């Protein structure tokens, strides 16, 4: 269902009448896929039943999270029953949870009891740049397709530190990522315990809170569950956007990506076709001294994973895989001690699914960064992309402790 509302697009100062997508009575099902026949059957029904995948099964015998509108639910349930799928209902009404994510009264100053807009995050970056000029160095890698700046901060207490690079919210709908990483930035600037003070003062942090600025703004203003960029994908204008985490120039389009512009995992017409990715790689290549970055992190949700290369194959592992697993264990163990949240770690291809053209693969294979990860934050699928605002601080606190453990583990094997 679409509801027309008037939105003020603050970045450009324009009042635009747009249609905001609602998900009233949309449901999310958890569907186990036991054999290839079931897998092919679901794929064949994706367009006709308007199936939207939130999370795909990793292997046969595992489950996918699938959302669909109310008018197709009866047919979908009949299909599942008639073909002996095992399934259960995870979310009864998606819009209810989206409404809960949007505050009844906005607090425009930065705090972590609500999900903030791009404009609010940028205003906060202005504040911390002014407040901590000796520690915070702002940078902009360039502009998005629609002209929004893609902003980041370097946090450095002294020269000569090794660096960690973090890009967040490359997928627009994963709001918990930018909420978590802005909390972490605040912790680095005002450390409240000695362990955080140590990693703040002795490691440089390059952080882009929102890489997919166009998609993120669109997910706030129009379509909450938007994933991709906003670059038009085909001449008809019917399909918009690239999956930016399939657009890096390493084994682009080899596996785990689609050439169909309407697909959620469309890799773009060519590697680095989207300015968000071409400018990100150019910034790392040209503005950060070679060898400075020791750890690269692409922050995502959901699933609770720490994923390393390789993504394109489960039949071999990179040279530095033992080191990657040592540091991933350090992150996961430290995070677990906060609230008992379990993160699974391993290579993408063996732990989640095969993928190529992603940020961590490029970081390792092209830039020789020995410790690169995709980190998938909470949860395991109970609410997925529509976590309530009450979860922001717990998630951010455990991730902060995870980063402390990650740095400690990296030091143990002389990565840092």
Q: What is the pLDDT of residue 4?
A: 37
Q: Are strands 62-68 and 52-55 parallel, antiparallel or unpaired?
A: antiparallel
Task: Judge whether 272 and 248 are in contact, CB under 8 Å.
Answer: yes
Verify whether residue 376 is a known catalytic residue: yes
Please report which residue ranges of 222-365 form alpha helices under DSSP H. 275-287, 321-339, 348-351, 359-365
Domains present along the chain, CATH in parentheses: 27-92 (3.30.70.340), 118-232+239-412 (3.40.630.10)
pLDDT at residue 11, rounded to an integer? 42
Residue 116 is given by DSSP the state P
Annotated catalytic residue: which of 174, 187, 376, 401? 376
Phi and psi based region of residue 382 (left: phi greater than 0; alpha: psi -120 to 50; beta: remaining): alpha
Q: Rounded to two decimals, what is the model's pTM?
A: 0.94
pLDDT at position 10 is 41
CA proximity to 244, closest of 148, 177, 170, 308 = 170
Among candidate residues 88, 94, 75, 112, the one with its CA nearest the CA of residue 29: 88
Report which secondary-structure segment, H or E, holds 188. helix 175-189
**Rounded CA gap, 167 and 290, in Å?**
18
175-189 helix and 118-131 helix, angle to the nearest 10 degrees? 10
Q: % helix / strand / coil in the chain, to the nearest 5?
A: 35, 25, 40
- pLDDT < 70 regions, the chain: 1-17
């Amino acid at each position: 269902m679409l509801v027309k509302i008037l939105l003020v697009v603050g970045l450009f100062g324009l009042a635009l009448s747009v249609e905001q997508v609602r998900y009233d009575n949309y449901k999310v099902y958890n569907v186990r896929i036991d054999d290839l026949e079931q897998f092919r059957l679901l794929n064949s029904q994706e367009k006709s039943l308007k199936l939207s995948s939130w999370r795909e099964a990793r292997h046969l015998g595992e489950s996918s999270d699938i959302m669909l509108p109310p008018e197709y639910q009866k047919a979908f349930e009949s299909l599942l029953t008639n073909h002996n799928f095992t399934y259960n209902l995870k979310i009864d009404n998606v819009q209810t949870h989206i409404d809960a994510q949007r505050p009844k009264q906005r607090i425009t100053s930065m705090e972590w009891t609500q999900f903030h807009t791009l404009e609010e995050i940028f205003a906060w970056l202005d504040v911390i740049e002014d407040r901590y000029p000796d520690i915070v160095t702002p940078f902009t890698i360039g502009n998005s397709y629609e002209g929004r700046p893609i902003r980041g901060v370097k946090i450095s207490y002294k020269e000569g530190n090794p660096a960690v690079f973090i890009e967040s919210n490359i997928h627009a709908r994963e709001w918990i990522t930018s909420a978590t990483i802005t909390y972490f930035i605040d912790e680095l600037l005002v450390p409240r315990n000695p362990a955080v003070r140590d990693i703040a003062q002795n490691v440089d942090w390059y952080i882009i809170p929102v890489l997919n600025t166009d998609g993120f703004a669109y997910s706030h203003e129009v379509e909450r569950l938007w994933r991709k960029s906003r670059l038009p994908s085909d001449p008809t204008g019917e399909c918009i956007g690239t999956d930016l985490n399939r657009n890096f120039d390493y084994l682009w389009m080899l596996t785990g990506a689609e050439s169909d512009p309407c697909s959620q995992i469309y890799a773009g017409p060519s590697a680095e076709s989207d300015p968000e990715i071409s400018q990100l790689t150019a910034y790392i290549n040209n503005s950060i001294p070679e060898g400075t970055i020791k750890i690269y992190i692409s922050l995502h949700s959901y699933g609770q994973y720490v994923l390393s290369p390789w993504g394109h194959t489960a039949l071999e592992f990179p040279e530095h895989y033992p080191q990657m697993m040592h540091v991933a264990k350090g992150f996961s163990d430290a995070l677990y001690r906060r609230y008992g949240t379990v993160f699974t770690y391993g290579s993408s291809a063996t732990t989640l699914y095969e993928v190529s053209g992603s940020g961590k693969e490029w970081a390792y294979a092209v830039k020789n960064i020995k410790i690169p990860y995709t980190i998938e934050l909470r949860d395991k699928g109970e609410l997925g992309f529509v976590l309530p605002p009450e979860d922001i601080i717990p998630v951010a606190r455990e991730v902060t402790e995870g980063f402390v453990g990650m740095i400690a583990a990296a030091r143990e094997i002389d990565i840092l």
